[in-house]
Structure 1
Amino acid sequence: MGNTRSSRFTRTDWLATGPLAPHVDAFKQYLTDCGYAATTFANCVRSVAHFAQWVHGRRLRVQRIDETVVAEFLDDHLPRCHCTGPVHCDRRNLSAALGHLLVVLRAQGVVAPPMMRTTPVDEELLCYEEYMDHVRGLAPKTRDIALRIVGRLLASRFGDGAIDIAAIKPDHVRRFFAQQAKLYRKPANAGTVISALRGYFRYRASLGDAVHGLIGAVSYPANWQLASLPKTLTAEEVEQLVGSLGRPGRSMRRADAIVRCAMDLGLRSGEIARISLDDIDWRAGTITLRHTKGRREDVLPLPATTGEAIAAYLKHERPKTRNRAVFVRHVAPRDQPIGPDLVRKTIRQAFARTGLPYTRSHLLRHTMANRLLAGGSSLKEVADVLRHRSLNTTLIYAKLDSRKLVDVALPWPGSAA
């Protein structure tokens, strides 16, 4: 059902007299704090007014409102709505507005948190995630990947029933891997499945389970990690990218600062997104990286060009917000930090504006490593700047060190020595 019964004269008096009246001011303040435009604000108010009229007609107590009640309103009532007076009937607007309403009601303690149906597999995954987080210190993305894979294994073996780790045999693991291999065609991705399974079985071994036969049930496929050269920007392409910075436009100062963080400091997307105002020491000219991939705090010198780009963004473009993140959202809901995906999107857009045929944000990190090597830095120094926990991770950049490669290259057969 569309907007046929909506208009700018939609009734909102149900908000003042209906069951949601005590919570209207908090709802409006929430929308204001999120920074929604006037049109969106008005649509949300009209949507909740329609919902309030329906709740009153059903004689529902506010405490009973939850996702089930909202779904009943959207799926059963809305297609055959006969509410009195003009009412807002756009399903998309209604769904979004009622989602915000639930947030407000739960923040006030009026409505109980959503009930989550848990199975033994869910409980097992929760325990395993705590282990990966607190014992192994794995990043959230790594944990999510492992939980998806292990969850599929456990669900395929036990469904909603209790977990009996002794009931998993090596043949079960091999068959599961064969099924998953169809989804992961590249050797590196297939290795991710094996790594996730072995990590889980090691966790069970730490609990005293006899699972050593399961750990070796599948082997890693051949995957020559150092077989290819890391892609980097040429010196000319770096100049092109630098020359494209400073253009006027919406969110361009934020884009310039993000590109500078990736290009000058070699920061990962997640590290850029997590930079806080408290992490920058302007007097000392340093930036502190917290909650990094290696779970360490690293203090790096802040290059002048990077600091100037961040300062310009903070002074001229960053919206007023109570959030301490340096890079925040420019569209509603405001007052929120950006995420790694927006960092990657920003860098892709910077490549596109420059006319460079690249899409991966990690390219700037590789480029920085190449520039360090070209400037005479050792692999150990590159590893320190990129904050690699293992020097083996940095070895791939040895292929880019043309000065060292000349020293070890053999003469071409038949040529002068």
Structure 2
Amino acid sequence: MDTTVTQLGVVVTAALRAAGYKESTIGQYLKTIRLLEDFIDARGGIYTSALGAEFAALTTSPRTGRFSAQRRFAYSRAVNVCDSYLRTGEVDLSPRQRGGGGRQPEADAFTMLNAMWEADMSGRGLAPATREAYGRITRSYLGYLEDCGISCLDDATPATVPGFFASLLDHGWAPSSLFWQVANFRPFVKFTGRGDLVDAIGLVGARRSHTIIPVLSDDDAQRLVTACASADTVSRRDAAITLLALMTGLRACDIINLRLTDIDWRAQTISLVQQKTSNPVTLPLPGLLVNPLADYLLTQRPDSNDDHVFLRSLAPHTQLADHASVYRITAETFRKAGITDVKAGTRFLRHNAASRLLRASVPLPTIAAVLGHASQESTNVYMSVDQQRLLDCVLPVPAGARP
């Protein structure tokens, strides 16, 4: 295999054109590859992953002398495709997941422990999103121990647990998020068999916050539906995704993984197995969603062998990468509808769907089934959205207590 940057550039360019990338995007790749070629030529002329990493680390702009996010993106993108070709003989153009999975432990004992924990979670069939949440906080804790000079869990004292969560606050985490991080961390320490570390979790003092969940006003909901009905305002893909989240309450992961065979057009239903709970669910296909979804599939969906319903609009035409992709789509749809005072993610839209069902006097067990909750207890939080019924529960002030 020729490992000169010139040959790598030829291979990468061919792969980009075969995948349907725009010539302007290919031109940006080639511009970076030419810079990579100059860098490698000054170091012997043969590309290696180590030299690629050195090149990708050149994130300081020579013009401004400051960090350049654009340079980091362009350089790392070019290096990633070159590295994939060296590893497999094929250019991997699949979108990279955001976040990178968090910090990885370096000590041998922690690396092995983390691998054992990952294998245990996989063996128990935990959902990918759950494994990622558990794994990320675990790796963060192991990294914290390394920063404290600890390279083996046997040397970790119970004090490291509250110390670790205090460090999260020092790095900008919101106190309200600690409850969920503690919940994600507890299974790992139970897995280690360290009862003293499990007991130390109680010292963190994390409390779950119970906020009243906001919902769309009737006027905002109408503006959103009107914007989604207009192909000139919102693309058919973005309209279908937004309406699907708004009217069914599907999680972002389930919207991303929705496949063409999950839609029964005759019965007007969507059937899928939810990623988080592994529960099967069948939902009616709302009438407002039928037209934009059908228009997208028939006229705007890119030609692709990928059978996921919603694909990237830019090459490579594969399924959406992650939750952030859906958030950007729904947030942009809200902006085009003139609704700018809410964070329009799928969590907010799930709350709105629950509110709509509750106001229609749908029983909580039915709402739990529609939202795909493993337990009806998870649905009780949505009772806070029905302000009118909450007011009906308020008792009058006794006459004797009035001034």
**TM-score, normalization by structure 1:** 0.75
Amino acid at match of 1:34: A
Query: Are residue 334 (structure 1) and residue 317 (structure 2) matched?
Result: yes
* Residue in structure 2 matching 1:244, options 227, 236, 253: 227
- 1:38-97 Cα offsets, whole Å, 9 max, x none, are 233245457657766886897666xxx332233566889xx9xxxxxxxxxx99866644
Matched ranges for 1:8-407 at <5 A: 26-42=11-27, 44-45=29-30, 48=33, 65-71=47-53, 96-108=77-89, 119-120=107-108, 121-135=110-124, 137-140=126-129, 142-158=130-146, 164-183=152-171, 186-205=174-193, 211-219=194-202, 221=205, 223=207, 225-226=209-210, 228-249=211-232, 252-356=235-339, 357-361=341-345, 362-401=347-386, 405=390
Structure 1 window deviating more from structure 2 (398-407 vs 162-171): it is 398-407
The question of whether the paired residues in 1 share the 8 Å contact of 2:269 and 2:285 is answered with yes
* 1:126 aligned counterpart, secondary structure: helix
284 and 152 in structure 1: CA distance in 2 versus 1, 3 angstrom threshold: same
Amino acid at match of 1:146: Y
118 and 251 in structure 1: CA distance in 2 versus 1, 3 angstrom threshold: farther
The question of whether the paired residues in 2 share the 8 Å contact of 1:370 and 1:400 is answered with yes
Q: Alignment identity in percent?
A: 25
The question of whether the paired residues in 1 share the 8 Å contact of 2:182 and 2:206 is answered with no
1: distance between equivalents of 2:373 and 2:3?
A: 59
How much is the aligned-residue C-alpha RMSD, in angstroms? 3.7
Superposition deviation, residue 257 in structure 1: 0.4
- 1:317-336 Cα offsets, whole Å, 9 max, x none, are 11222222211111234344
* 2:271 aligned counterpart, secondary structure: strand
2: distance between equivalents of 1:289 and 1:71?
A: 41
Q: Which structure has the larger Rg over C-alpha atoms?
A: 1
**TM-score, normalization by structure 2:** 0.78
- 1:342-362 Cα offsets, whole Å, 9 max, x none, are 211121122222222112322
2: distance between equivalents of 1:263 and 1:346?
A: 13
314 and 411 in structure 1: CA distance in 2 versus 1, 3 angstrom threshold: same
Superposition deviation, residue 260 in structure 1: 1.0
189 and 337 in structure 1: CA distance in 2 versus 1, 3 angstrom threshold: closer
1: distance between equivalents of 2:131 and 2:342?
A: 28
2: distance between equivalents of 1:201 and 1:91?
A: 36
1: distance between equivalents of 2:185 and 2:32?
A: 47
Superposition deviation, residue 294 in structure 1: 1.0
Superposition deviation, residue 155 in structure 1: 3.3
- 1:216-245 Cα offsets, whole Å, 9 max, x none, are 11325363543x321111222211211122
The number of residues matched between the two structures is 373
Which structure 2 residue ranges, 5 or more long, are not aligned?
A: 62-70, 92-103
* 2:164 aligned counterpart, secondary structure: helix
307 and 123 in structure 1: CA distance in 2 versus 1, 3 angstrom threshold: farther
Which structure 1 residue ranges, 5 or more long, are not aligned?
A: 1-16, 80-89, 111-115, 206-210
1: distance between equivalents of 2:397 and 2:51?
A: 77
Amino acid at match of 2:88: A
164 and 106 in structure 1: CA distance in 2 versus 1, 3 angstrom threshold: closer
* 2:283 aligned counterpart, secondary structure: strand
* 1:289 aligned counterpart, secondary structure: strand
Superposition deviation, residue 406 in structure 1: 6.2
184 and 213 in structure 1: CA distance in 2 versus 1, 3 angstrom threshold: farther
* 1:245 aligned counterpart, secondary structure: helix
2:97 maps to none
